[in-house]
Each structure stands twice: as structure tokens, then as C-alpha cells.
Amino acid sequence: MTVPLTRNRNYTLLWGGQAVAEVGFAASLIALPLLVLAMTGSPAAAGLVLSVDATAQFLAGLPAGALVDRWDRRKIMLACEAAQALALGSLVLALISDTATLAHIVVVAAVLGVCRALFEPAEDASLPRLVPDSQLATAIAMNSARSSLGQMAGTALGGVLFAVGRFVPFLLDLVTHCLAFVALLFVRMPPREPVAVSERHFLREIGDGLRWVWQRKEIRVTALCAVVLNLFFAAFYMVVLVLADARGVSSGAIGVMAAMLGVGGVVGALIAPWLHRVLGPYVSIASVFWALTVLTPVAYFVSDGYVMGGLFALMTLLAPTANTTIATHQMLLTPDAMRGRLSGVVSVVLGVAGALGPALGGLLTQFLSADRAVLVCAVGIALVTAFVTVSPTLRRYSAEQEGVPNEV
């Protein structure tokens, strides 16, 4: 009999440690630009720090995936937690002693970005070895809920703690990474098969990961559709912020509106294991595209920030189910020796959409009215939804490798 996921000691240790680390990370992420603004008064410098963090994670993505498949994944996760704790500790000491510089903050941001690039594929690739196939979808959904909860709590804490003291959010992040490190020490990872010597050429390993993703049509098509959807949704989010401001929505209401994205993500992640079983693979994936196609044009008519927040929550409600279905299928389809590279490639590809989406939204609002920019985003989402609807690859999307229904 399969042990319920909540009684899986190794998974709960990993999940719990990363739950607290997510809170600390979100607190630091909101506090970093506030810190740079307070030190320099330059919005450009504040944006630079966040850009360095994201760029470091993006550039390290492909090499990180290959390293995750080459090295011991648990040791990689431990090293990442230790490196982040050391970087944050140096920043806390510099802030307390009033010796922090912009260059120091940039280096810390780069370290955090590289560590996430390594840790995320290491955790993703380890998950199928920590939980049985029948519970993998539930574990992936719970990780998604963990991230959303951590983002909500950490973002709120970061601003409050920064008002208490500039170093306090980073001290929180330091403590949470230390706790996550301790939790990882007690995780027992099942042994992996040794990697053949002939496969250990690093650049060849990166190329193998890219070829693996490209040659698997299901992975290639779902990744392409996800990139286009994320691109237009990220642009839509930027456009809606401009539109809300133009319609006189208060900053407080805009904050609530943005927070509702997280609320929808949390609720969606909690119901994702159930929806994943009930809807089936194709409907699980297509439903998020259909929902966004219907809901995006509604923003054209909404002028109240709180109503827009409710719309945002509905828009993100089904995303965890689609992500759970796709990630579960991909992990079970991919050999263990390739899972790190799979995660690295997918994160890099999706990172492109995350980086270009806000820029696209900014350009749309620069050359069009915000109202018309909403409609452009709606058309873009509708086109990719039409492709998803008729795609024979997605209609044949199979979960036959995912096993029996999940147990929590």
C-alpha cells in the first residue's frame, strides 16, 4: 500500500524547508529594489538589481540543468542553500555596519539568481525519486501552492520588515535558508545510477538536453504554447496596471489587485490534484487557455480595481492544473539522467516569455491606448488557444505513464 504523501518523510522535509525559504526569498525580492532606492534614489539602479537577478538565473539555466544531471542533486541543493545564506549574511553585516554598496548588492543578486537556476532543476529532477509515480502530480501541485503562499506572505512581510530596518528582510531570508539547509540534511535521496564516462562531456550534455526537448513533440508543442500564452499574459498584466492607473484606481486597490494573482494561484494549486484526475490531460491543459481567452477581454470593461483583482484570481485558478499535468507527464517521460536538463531547458524557454512580456506590454501602451492594448493581448491569447484546441498532439496528450490516482 502506498504511504500518503503527508507521511512521506523525505518529501515533507524538502517541502517544509523550501516553504520557509520561499517566504524569505519573496521578502528579499521586494526589499532589494527598496534598498537600492533608499541608498541611491535611482529607479534605474533599482531595476538593474532585479534585472541582474533574473539575468543570472536565465544565463545559468542551461549549464545548471547539465550540472544537475552530472552531480549529486542533494549536494547541489545543500550548496545552493549555503551559498545563499553566505551571500545574504554578507549583505546583512554590510547593512548593519553601514558599508553596503551598489556593487555588493548586485553581486548578492547574481548569487541568488544562479543558486535558483541550480536548485530548481535539482529539486524538480529529485521529485520522481522521492515520491511514487502515482503521487507525482500531487507533489508538483503542492510545490506550486508552496511557491504561491511563500510569494504572498514574503511580499507582505518584506515591505513591513524593511520599514523596521533595512537589513531585517535579508536577515529573515538568511534564517529561512539556514532552516532549509538543516531540513535538507535529513532528506535521504534514493541512489542514482552512475553516469557513463562517455556521456560526461559538458557541452555535449547541454546539447543533449536541448535535443531531447526538441525531439519530443509533446514537450516541444506544450512549451511553445506556454511561451506564447505567458508572453501575452505578462504583457496583459503590464497593460492592466497602466489601464488601472489611467482610470484612477488607487495604489492600494492596485496592490490588492496584484495580490489576487497569488490568491488564485494558491487556490488553484490546492484543487489541481483533483482537477488533474477529473478533467484528464488535454482538458487540463486547454482549460487554462480557454479561460484566459474568455476573461482577458473583460478587462476592457472593468474600471474597479477590486473587481479586476477578482478577474485576476479567476485567470490564475486553472494554471496550476495545466502546469501539474504538463510537468508530471514530462518528468515521467524523461529518463532520470536527463531530468535536470529538461527542467533547465524549460525554465530558460519560459524565462524568455517572462522577460519579453512586460516589454511587449510597455510597447503596446506606448503606441496604443491601454484599452486597445488589452484587445491586442486578447487576440494573441485567442490565437494560441485556437491552436491548442485543434492541435492533434495535445488532443493525444496521454497521462498513461502517470499511474493510479494520487493520495495526499
Q: Report pLDDT digits (tens) over 373-395.
A: 899 999 999 999 999 999 998 88
- CATH code assigned at 150: 1.20.1250.20
User: Do the domain assignments include residue 199?
Assistant: no
> How big is the CA angle at 142 (ends 136 and 148), to the nearest 5 degrees?
140
Supply the pTM of this predicted model: 0.79
The dihedral built from the CA positions of residue 164, 169, 175 and 176, taken in this order, carries a sign that is positive
Across the range 100-127, mean pLDDT stands at 93
* 46, 161: one domain: yes
For 22-26, 56-60, 314-318, which range has the lowest pLDDT when averaged over its residues? 56-60
User: Which of these three, 169, 188, 207, is where a domain ends?
Assistant: 188
* CA dist list (Å): 56 to 79, 114, 279: 17, 5, 37
Contact 396, 126 (CB under 8 A): no
> How big is the CA angle at 284 (ends 279 and 286), to the nearest 5 degrees?
125
* 110, 8: one domain: yes
Residue 398 — very low, low, confident or very high, per pLDDT cuts 50/70/90? Answer: low
* 170, 270: one domain: no
**Highest-scoring range by mean pLDDT, 105-119, 265-279, 349-363:** 105-119
User: Do the domain assignments include residue 205?
Assistant: no
Q: Provide the residue count of the chain.
A: 408
User: What letter would DSSP give residue 82?
Assistant: H
Contact 264, 312 (CB under 8 A): yes
* 221, 113: one domain: no
Give 224-268 as a DSSP string.
HHHHHHHHHHHHHHHHHHHHHHHTT--HHHHHHHHHHHHHHHHHH
Q: What is the pLDDT of residue 202?
A: 75
* 136, 236: one domain: no
Looking at per-residue pLDDT, the higher value among 234 and 84 belongs to: 84
Residues 64, 58: Cα–Cα separation, whole Å: 10
pLDDT higher than threshold 80 for residue 71: yes
User: Do the domain assignments include residue 228?
Assistant: yes
Q: What is the pLDDT of residue 324?
A: 87
* 167, 248: one domain: no
* 23, 106: one domain: yes
**For the chain, what is the domain count?**
2
Give 269-331 as a DSSP string.
HHHHHHHHHHH-HHHHHHHHHHHHHHHGGGGGG---HHHHHHHHHHHHHSHHHHHHHHHHHHH
Across the range 99-128, mean pLDDT stands at 93
Average pLDDT along the chain = 85
pLDDT higher than threshold 50 for residue 260: yes
Q: What is the pLDDT of residue 70?
A: 86
29-38: per-residue pLDDT in tens?
Answer: 888 888 888 8
User: Do the domain assignments include residue 204?
Assistant: no
User: Do the domain assignments include residue 250?
Assistant: yes
User: Do the domain assignments include residue 200?
Assistant: no
* 133, 34: one domain: yes
Q: What is the pLDDT of residue 404?
A: 35
* 237, 358: one domain: yes
203-221: per-residue pLDDT in tens?
Answer: 788 888 888 888 888 888 9
User: Which of these three, 138, 170, 188, is where a domain ends?
Assistant: 188
User: Do the domain assignments include residue 1?
Assistant: yes
pLDDT higher than threshold 90 for residue 190: no
* 235, 312: one domain: yes
* 237, 378: one domain: yes
Residues 21, 19: Cα–Cα separation, whole Å: 5
User: Which of these three, 137, 168, 188, is where a domain ends?
Assistant: 188
User: Do the domain assignments include residue 254?
Assistant: yes
Kindly report the number of other CB atoms within 10 A of residue 50's CB atom: 16
* 296, 363: one domain: yes
Residues 400, 370: Cα–Cα separation, whole Å: 44
Containing domain of residue 314, as a range? 216-402
Q: What is the pLDDT of residue 402?
A: 40
pLDDT higher than threshold 80 for residue 224: yes
Q: What is the pLDDT of residue 36?
A: 87
Across the range 340-354, mean pLDDT stands at 83
For 281-285, 332-336, 373-377, which range has the lowest pLDDT when averaged over its residues? 332-336
